Chains A and B, each alone.
Chain A
């Protein structure tokens, strides 16, 4: 049973560029949440996708957008990258459709913006 997977593991981008991060949920899970974890902080909620729609959103600008596919996998897109977007991006999946909010996290994507 594969757990949550994320790609790529590491990524280096330049200011102003755009980036796409990918997440595959744990088998049987239908909900994907994205978090940004900056150094010294706890993970900050970006948004959650369920049934291919953005269900909840945290306090992040519109430069952060996402998508969920019919197979429940998800993408996080960040446009017009800023230096401050450098962080670890975590994806977590859960089985919201079964009323279970327990989340399983992926290993994360380390994004560095130069």
Chain B
């Protein structure tokens, strides 16, 4: 069974501060890692798909890194804004089966 862990479960960050959180997963049979942002009452939105060890992706103020050998990925948010408040889900893709973590719930404080 693939065990995906995200930490922390919940995070409160002051507007303007930067933050990061972690996704860890078994590194065997790895194919890709997906990050999603899920705002309340909306559909999960794809942020990044990463496949190679050492991959680094960036989208505006959000970036992610991937270490497939040790089985972890970091998501960074620079200069947090209120619109960043959401649940961030990571999902490793193993044998074409995407398994989601429970997510990190990010609250941006004004």
Q: Which residues of B contact A101 (CB under 8 A)?
A: 31-32, 34, 49, 93, 96, 98
> Which residue on A lies nearest to B98, using beta carbons?
A45
In the complex, identify which listed stretch (A10-18, A70-78, A103-111) lies at the interface while the others stay far away.
A103-111
* Cα separation A101 to B98 with both chains bound (whole Å): 9
Residues of A within 8 A of B96 (CB): 48, 55-56, 96, 101
Q: Are A48 and B42 in contact (CB under 8 A)?
A: no
Q: Chain A's nearest CB lies how many Å from the CB of B91?
A: 8
A residues in contact with B32, CB < 8 Å: 101
Closest chain A residue to B36 by CB distance? A105
Asked whether, in the complex, the Cβ of A107 is within 8 Å of the Cβ of B43, the reply is yes
In the complex, what distance in Å separates the CA atom of A104 from the CA atom of B99?
Answer: 15
- Which of B44, B45, B49 has the most A CB atoms < 10 Å from its CB? B44
Which residue of chain B is the closest to A4 with respect to CB atoms?
Answer: B43
Chain B nearest CB from A4 CB (Å) reads 7
CB–CB A108/B34 < 8 A:
no
Q: Is A61 an interface residue (CB 8 A)?
A: no
Q: Which of B43, B46, B93, B97 has the most CB of A within 10 A?
A: B43
| Contact present for B89 and A42 (CB under 8 Å) | yes
Q: Which residues of A contact B100 (CB under 8 A)?
A: 35, 42-45
Complex CA gap A105/B43 in Å reads: 6
CB of A40 within 8 Å of the partner chain: yes
Scan B29-55; emit 1 where CB is below 8 A from any A CB, else 0.
001101010000011111001000000
List residues of chain B with CB under 8 Å of any chain A CB: 4, 31-32, 34, 36, 42-46, 49, 89, 91, 93, 95-103
Chain A residues proximal to chain B, CB less than 8 Å: 3-4, 33, 35, 40-45, 48, 55-56, 58, 90, 92, 96, 101-108
A-B contact pairs, 15 of them (CB 8 A): A3-B43, A35-B100, A42-B102, A42-B103, A43-B44, A43-B100, A45-B98, A45-B99, A56-B95, A96-B96, A101-B49, A101-B98, A103-B46, A104-B46, A107-B43
Pairs of residues from A and B, 4 with the lowest C-beta to C-beta distance, nearest first: A42-B100, A105-B43, A105-B44, A42-B102
